[in-house]
Amino acid sequence: MTNVIVEHRWKTHNAEEVKKVVGNLVQMSRDKTLPPGFELKSVNILGSEPRAICNWDAPSVRDMKDFIEKINPPTKNEVSEAQRIV
């Protein structure tokens, strides 16, 4: 299991579509229907900026990138492995 941080940035006109995608992922997390090995730990929207930071446990960074490609959010994504300290 890898701790992964995903930074999402979107254009203001895509905000409603982004909210829909995030809502679907949060619901999948609650329903335990995310793909095996994936766990959504947190979603943090940064103030009024069109930007969010999501924390995941995933099988690997590559698997996380592949999953993002499948759900195809209207965002630019930066995916990084993170070392959990706390």
pLDDT digits (tens, 9 = 90+) for 49-85: 999 999 999 999 999 999 999 999 999 999 999 987 8
CB 54 within 8 Å of CB 67: no
CB 71 within 8 Å of CB 21: yes
pTM for this predicted structure: 0.91
Question: Phi-psi region for residue 68, left (φ > 0), alpha (ψ -120 to 50) or beta?
Answer: alpha
Answer yes or no: CATH 3.40.720.10 is held by domain 2-81.
Answer: no
What local confidence, expressed as pLDDT, does residue 47 receive? 86
CB 12 within 8 Å of CB 31: no
3-state percent helix, strand, coil for the chain, nearest multiple of 5: 35, 35, 30
Q: Which two tokens stand for residue 66?
A: 């592949």
